[in-house]
Each structure stands twice: as structure tokens, then as C-alpha cells.
Amino acid sequence: MSLRTPSTTQTRQALLDLERTNERLAQNQARIASGNRLTSPGDDPTAAASILSFGNSIEANTQYLKQADTAISFLKASEDAVSGSIEHTMSLEELAQRGLFATTAAERTAMAPQVDAIRTMLLGLANTQVQGKFLFAGTQTLGTAAHPLPFQDAAPPAGPINYWGDSGSINLEVATNTSVSTNIPGNTVFFGAGGQGSSTDILQAVTDLRNGLTTNNTALIQTASTNLKAVLDNLNQMRADLGGRQAGLLSLKDTLSGFNITLQDMQNTQQSTDYPQAATEYAQDQTIQAATLSTLAKSNKTNLFDYIV
């Protein structure tokens, strides 16, 4: 008589198979519950590295998008201030023409308060702030204790106006190796290419126009009128520059957003669970698990007849 006993090797192998099946079941269960194909980097090191790379790129682009939004907000506010200055310049031109065609000194003098009001509004635009920063102060965006404003009226209504900013540009990085200037220095906008006191200086034109009106000096009024045309050309150029930068940033934002969508899709392809596949594998492993358990139960079940050949 010989004994018939379950093979130790077969039992050990069945237990190993069961352990692997249980691991796959747990893994697919986690994938289905979390929606992530990779439950740990070791599941697929290559895919894990790609997912990390895509995530870093998306994060960098998202930061660039925020930088672009910040730049656009400053540029838009600057453009609005320049547009307001253009409107005031056109009003000054109209007053200059009226002054030239006026027939009495009293008529001209009566126009001076309107010029004074425009001067005040222009100074307000020149000292525009956004988020606590002066738009037209170059890099001196916060001012100083001695000179809290970039443009200060030394002796209103017709005295000199001092500029305490600088000619610096403020740049923001909006893409890899790409930056944009978010400002135009105040002296460039309000003094123009000729500089302070020149024919492109809007504040000098205001002073000349007022002095011409109050002293009945038609020659000075004519000078102001002529110079205001140069001022207007400069301001229109500034507005076009600011608008062009915004258009470029909006195009860049579209590009970056498109990149992020593509990167997100690629990341999802690597990371997201394939639910039909995971469910199929889960069901298959449940079947394998049940069969293995059944086999183990039978192989370990012994009775008297198991000892009889």
C-alpha cells in the first residue's frame, strides 16, 4: 500500500499564484477606485517619469499664464491712461484753435480754467496706480518719501512739473527665455522723444497754451497748437505699442493654454485608469482566485480513502 498525499511543491506554487492574484486584484481595485493606472512609480517607471515631466511642464505653463495675466493688467491700465491723455490732448487742441480765433483777450482768458482742469486730469493720469504701483514711474513704482509721486506740480497752475521716476523697464518672464516689458516710463509717454520742455512734451504744451491764453499771446497759442499735434502723434504711438504687447500676450496665452491641454491629455493617457480593461482583469483574477482556493481546499482535504491505492 502507498500513501497519496498532496504535493508540497504544487501547494507552494498554488499559494504563490494565489498571492500574485490577490496583488493584482488589490491593484486593479485601487485603480478603479482612484482612477489612476499607476498606484506606485514602480508599476511603470517609464510612464511615471513621463507623468512627472508632463506635470512639471503644465505647472510651468500655468505660472507663465499667471505672469501673462499680470502683464496684461498693467499694460491695459497703461493703455487706458494713455487713451485718456489722447482725449485730453484733443480737447487742448480744440481750445487752442478757439483761442486762435477768439477776437478779444477776455475770451482767451476765459478759456484758461479749462486748460487748468485738463492739466490736473493729465497729472492724475500720469500718476495712475495699479495694485499700489505707479504705472508711469519707470522702476520707481512705489515712489519715495521725498518724492511720493512720479509727477509733481512744483507751482500750479503754470509752473514746472518735475518727473521723479526713471527710464527703466519692468520685465516679466512669460515663457521660457521670453519676457515682456509691462510698462512705458512716464518721461517717454508724457515728454515724448524730445524730452522735457520739448515740442513733444504734453505738459509743456499745456503750460504754453495757458500762458498764451492768459497773456493774449497768439504766437504762444500757435506754438502750443503745433506742438500738440506732435504730442498726439507720440501718444498714439504709445497706445499702439501697449496694444501690440497685449495682443502678443493674448496670442501667447492661447498657445500656452493649447500646450497645457495637449500635455494634460498625454498625462491622462499615461495616468488614467482604463476602466474596461481594469474591470475585465479584475473579473478574470476573481475567477482565478476562486479556482485556486478551490484547488487548495481539495488538495488539503484528506480522509481514510486518500491512503488507499
> Looking at residue 69, which CATH number applies to its domain?
1.20.1330.10
Count of C-beta atoms within a 10 Å radius of residue 149: 18
197-208 as b/e: b if 16+ CB within 10 A = eebbbbbbbbbb
In a domain, 26, yes or no: no
CA angle 117, 153, 162 (to 5 degrees): 135
In a domain, 82, yes or no: yes
Q: How far apart are CA 275 and CA 37, in angstroms?
A: 9
In a domain, 248, yes or no: yes
In a domain, 296, yes or no: no
Q: pLDDT tens digits for 50-98?
A: 888 989 999 999 999 999 999 999 999 999 999 999 999 999 999 999 9
In a domain, 157, yes or no: yes
Grid cell, residue 36, equals 489612476
In a domain, 176, yes or no: yes
Residues 6+ apart with CB under 8 A from 3: 306, 307
In a domain, 272, yes or no: no
Q: Concatenate the DSSP letters of all residues of 231-265 into one string.
A: HHHHHHHHHHHHHHHHHHHHHHHHHHHHHHHHHHH
Q: At what angle do helices 218-271 and 202-214 cross, to 10 degrees?
A: 150
CA angle 214, 216, 220 (to 5 degrees): 90
Strand partners, 134: 129
Q: pLDDT tens digits for 229-279?
A: 999 999 999 999 999 999 999 999 999 999 999 998 888 777 665 556 656
Q: How far apart are CA 259 and CA 248, in angstroms?
A: 17
Q: pLDDT tens digits for 116-164?
A: 999 999 999 999 999 999 999 999 999 999 999 999 998 888 788 999 9
Task: Give the total number of structural domains in the chain.
Answer: 1
Flag whether pLDDT at 37 surpasses 80: no
In a domain, 166, yes or no: yes
Structural domain of residue 152, as residue ranges?
A: 54-264
State pTM to two decimals.
0.77
Q: Answer for the pair 159, 180: CB distance below 8 angstroms, yes or no.
A: no
- E strand map for 1-143: 129-130, 133-134
Q: pLDDT tens digits for 153-189?
A: 988 887 889 999 999 999 999 999 999 999 999 999 9
